Chains A and B, each alone.
Chain A
Amino acid sequence: MRVIRRYEYLVVKLLAVYKIYSKGKRCMIDIRHITKTYGKKKNVFTALKDINLQIKEGTSVAILGKSGSGKSTLMHAISGLDKPQQGEVLVGDKDILRLKPRATDKFRAREMGFIFQSFFVEGGETCYDNVSLALETAGVPRAGRKQRIIEALEAVDLGDKIKSRAKDLSGGQKQRLAVARAIVGRPKILFADEPTGNLDSTTSQVIEDLLFGYCKETEATLIIVTHDEDLAKRCQRIIYIKDGEVEKDSMSSRPVKSAKPSATKSPKKTTDKKTRSNTPARRAK
């Protein structure tokens, strides 16, 4: 009996440690040599040319560029929606381009949130069901959902529209609903593709405040794809994309493109280890 008790105690303790560890696990994004082409042979169009980027967790990054510059493609590649022909995308310790499709989907459902220019809310469904979709894909048990959905809707000031159909909302409200859907799963990375492109300046302001507010509060990474320089300026870091290449990066003046894999690999690994070993310990105390 005693032995069993002791084991039980050990298991419980291990579980607790693991929980803290997994909570504290950071989602640093490391993009290496991403190349994406469309078409074949003579008609090849290269959308992304050997892109290398590192995005620290908790930062807000704007990917700025004109339409057709490849900024959306870059976002799709980072989120694993699109598969570039070459390169790797490490999020935390996972190369999401090498994961099995189901694992990528699962990862996206649990760790990422999305906001689009044209909202993509389901008009015929209620606000509640729209937000619920994100929790359903993430596999959150039914019991825990209601509370979280209501909280998310209240966070975007749509607490009184829970039962309303999405098609009855105004444009700004629809985008707020999309924000609620993006944050309800408490993602560590939030992607916003021209989030204010279809909105007037006042409602844009509201959406921007919501996005930055969420990321500040939860220390989540925010990646905004936009051609709006004013919006980009609110971010901590701006990456300029032109013709599928990083033209300028506000973080470093040195051209990121030439960074060698060996040079980025070794320092990254050490930092990674540090954060890994540090975080649980810090939290445990």
Chain B
Amino acid sequence: MKTVDIIQRAGRNLRRAKMRTFLTSVAIAIGGFAIMASLMVGEGARQYVDRIIKSNLDPNALMIAKDKRVTSAQVNGGGEDGLTEYNPNSMTRNGRDYETLTTKDIEVLRKRNDIKQVEPSYQVQPKYITFSQSKKKKYVGQVMMRDNTLQMEVAAGKSVASGDALANGEAIIPEIYAEKLGKSAQEMVGSKLNLVVTQQPQQASAATIQQVYATKGDAGVQELLKGKTLSKPFTIVAVAKKSPDQISSPSSVYINAHDAKNLSEFSTVGTSAHRKYFYVLATVKHGTPEEVRDRLNGSGYHAATAQDIQGVIFTFINILQGIVLGFGLLALVVSVFGIINTMYISVLERTQQIGLMKALGASRRDIGRLFRYEAAWVGFLGGAFGVLSAWGIGTLINPSISKSLGLGDNSLLIFQPGVGATVVLALVLVAIVAGWLPSRKAAKLDPVEALRTE
């Protein structure tokens, strides 16, 4: 028999048993739906993260650290180390010890000719911030160094394109600060803010203390040992917009590297954190980021490219996606047994038809194919139904998901026709495999026995 004939005959057989066909394919459809939905979520998340990375990280940027965990474990947490060897160059962050880069390392890195714009991450931890627009209160907030390679969407003030650097004494504040202060973004532009940092009390020699005591008395000594405070004024030049493409919507004050360095050095003088850095950012000068990374790794550093950082985030997404996919596969396994069961009953019911076909000269192979193609049809119908409903439901609920998760114009569920077609095809194959056992039974049926059945 010709394949087309068998496919048509299989289709007609299914059409005659509409309810059964429908119910069997629903089982497959549920599996197909779950699988498709998980793939759509995965793709949506991946595209979203991709966009975030692109707008937050320069593809040519390298993150270089002394401690491997800074570049790899930073994002995904890493394991607990317990007791570690003391290292004078280590620094504690979030309760864990990290080996840091020293000024010597910075010098070494700056001398390299395959990277440029080597800039350590200056940690500025202001004691408090004051605003000229809100004179009475003091606020606590974060301060970050602006990465000049990135564009920043602004709500007011001067535009900040990629490559635009801030001048000394200039600052950008996020939109939420303006909201908190009850001012509009426009009102904030041009106003001032003060970053107040403190210095640890300096150790003074007995001679110095005696000298101060002699000249300024008791108050002088107290003043000397109290620790200094620096209040550095900045002019707000722009207000950064809340953007769904930012890793987190900007929530810190941005200043340039020079100011950050000054404040950081001032506040860390005399502490173990002085001139020690978790990581430095650099831009690749020659070659691909991967090549430079490998070279740096060979010379005692640990570097990560933008893609590496992306990969770490993707691992997380892949795990999530795997869980949904697992449920889909489970549903599919159940539906496979549904198909086997239904087809088996169908074979028993149709012994006569099988016997007649054999009498008319249909070969074993033809009979087997008839039942396998029926299974394939069920798989196709179920698969198409599941995938299309995943698409439809995805399109329907995308806007509300984006709204509730604050993704802006990004969609979480992204349907790719190619992936959809592949899923349908895979389900057809799964159904054929499920139909193999019943089809074998049908093919093996003795025609004489079958024709005797009344």
Chain A residues proximal to chain B, CB less than 8 Å: 73, 76, 79, 81-82, 101-102, 105-110, 112, 114, 116, 118, 120, 122, 124-125, 129, 133-134, 136-139, 142, 181
Contacts and interface: CB of A to CB of B under 8 A. Distances in A.
Most A-side CB within 10 Å, residue of B12, B355, B356, B362: B356
B448 interface: yes
B15 to A, nearest CB: 8
Given A105-B361, A133-B9, A133-B360, 12 more contacts: A81-B447, A101-B364, A109-B362, A110-B361, A120-B451, A122-B356, A124-B16, A125-B12, A125-B16, A138-B361, A142-B2, A142-B5
A102 B363 contact: yes
| Residue among B9, B12, B16, B363 having the largest count of chain A Cβ atoms under 10 Å | B363
10 contacts: A76-B448, A82-B447, A108-B359, A114-B359, A122-B356, A124-B16, A133-B9, A137-B357, A139-B2, A142-B2
B364 A137 contact: no
Interface of B: 1-2, 4-5, 9, 12, 16, 352-353, 355-366, 447-448, 451, 454
A118 B1 contact: no
A109 B5 CA distance: 15
Contacts of B363: 101-102, 105-106
Contacts of B362: 105, 109, 137
B5 A136 contact: yes
A112 to B, nearest CB: 7
A136 B2 contact: yes
A106 B359 contact: no
A79 B362 CA distance: 13
A81 B12 contact: no
A167 B362 CA distance: 23
B1 A137 contact: yes
B359 A133 contact: no
Contact of B12 (A114, A118, A129, A137): A129
Given A82-B448, A136-B2, A112 B361 contact: yes
Given A76-B448, A122-B353, A137-B366, A114 B360 contact: yes
Given A136-B1, A139-B2, A116 B360 contact: no
A109 B359 CA distance: 8
B436 to A, nearest CB: 20
Contacts of B353: 120, 122
Contacts of A114: 359-360
B392 to A, nearest CB: 32
Contacts of B1: 136-137, 139
A82 to B, nearest CB: 5
Nearest to B449: A82
Among B352, B359, B362, residue most surrounded by chain A Cβ atoms (within 10 Å): B359
Contacts of B358: 81, 105
A246 to B, nearest CB: 21
A163 to B, nearest CB: 14
A98 to B, nearest CB: 17
B183 to A, nearest CB: 77
Contacts of B448: 73, 76, 81-82
Question: Which 10 interchain pairs have the tightest Cβ spacing?
Answer: A109-B361, A124-B16, A108-B361, A136-B5, A105-B363, A137-B361, A120-B356, A137-B362, A137-B360, A105-B361
Contacts of A102: 363, 365
A176 to B, nearest CB: 16
A112 B428 CA distance: 36
A283 B4 CA distance: 37
Contacts of B9: 129, 133, 136
Contacts of B357: 133, 137
A73 B452 CA distance: 11
B4 A142 contact: yes
A108 B357 CA distance: 11
A58 to B, nearest CB: 22
A73 B451 CA distance: 12
A134 B352 CA distance: 15
B349 to A, nearest CB: 12
A138 B361 CA distance: 7
Contacts of B360: 108-109, 114, 133-134, 137, 181
Nearest to B356: A120
Nearest to A182: B360
A176 B454 CA distance: 20
A5 to B, nearest CB: 36
A55 B171 CA distance: 109
B1 to A, nearest CB: 5
Contact of A120 (B4, B352, B366): B352
Contacts of A105: 358, 361-364
A103 to B, nearest CB: 10
A108 B380 CA distance: 34
A108 B9 CA distance: 20
A235 B357 CA distance: 28
Q: Tell me which of B9, B353, B360, B362 has the highest count of chain A C-beta atoms within 10 A of its own C-beta.
A: B360
A79 B356 CA distance: 13
Nearest to B452: A72
A76 B358 CA distance: 12
Contacts of A124: 12, 16
A41 to B, nearest CB: 21
